Amino acid sequence: MTTPETHPASDHRTLTGLKDAREAIDQVIACATRELAVFDDRLELRGYESPGRIGALRKLLLAGRMHRIRIALHEPEGLARTQPRLIALLREFPSAIEIHRTVGEALNARDPFVIADDHSAWHLLHQDHPRSVVALHSPPDVHGLVHRFAEIWELTEPAVSATTLGL
C-alpha cells in the first residue's frame, strides 16, 4: 500500500515593502530543492549579504551535487566589494554557481525576481516601485517567470568566476 504524495499548499501574496520582500525571498529560497534562478540589477538591496541567506544557499548546494544557482545581473561590477559572503560561496561551489552579466535586449528588463525550481518565485513588479508578489508552491503562477529567466539567461555572458574577480 502506498501513501499518496502530499504537496505543500500554494500561497500567493502581494507585498509592499523591502522587509517583506526580503522575507519572501528567504521563503522562496527555502522552497528550492534543485535550482535557484535570480535576476536583478544588483543584489545590494535584496539581503544576499546576510549570513542567514548565505547559509540557506549553502544548504541548497550541499543537498545535491547537481543543485545549481544561476544569477543574472545588469551590474555585476563591485560584487566582490558588496557581496563578499556570496563570493566566498562561489569559491566554495565554483561548479554550482554561475553569475552572468546581462547584455543586449536583456538590459531593458526592470523587474527583479527569484525562482525556486519551477514552482515558487518572488517578483518585484518594477525596480522603481516597492510592490512585489510571492508565489510559493504554485507552478502556474511561476511558469511565465521560468520562461522569462530562460530568455534573459540567453542574453548574458559570464561575469564573475571563482578565480577571476577583477571586475
9 within 8 A of 127, measured Cβ to Cβ: no
pLDDT, position 166: 47
The DSSP code sequence of 35-70 is EEEEEES-STTTTTTSHHHHHHHHHHHHT-TT-EEE
pLDDT, position 38: 99
pLDDT above 90 for 20: yes
Lookup: cell for 153: 539567461
For 76-105, b/e burial (b = at least 16 CB within 10 A) is: beebeeebebbbebbeebeebbbbbbbeee
Write down how long the chain is.
Answer: 167
Q: What is the mean pLDDT of residues 82-87?
A: 95
pLDDT digits (tens, 9 = 90+) for 37-63: 999 999 988 999 999 999 999 999 999
The pTM assigned to this predicted structure is 0.91
pLDDT digits (tens, 9 = 90+) for 109-155: 999 999 999 999 999 998 888 899 999 999 999 999 999 999 999 99
Domains by residue range for the chain, with CATH: 12-160 (3.30.870.10)
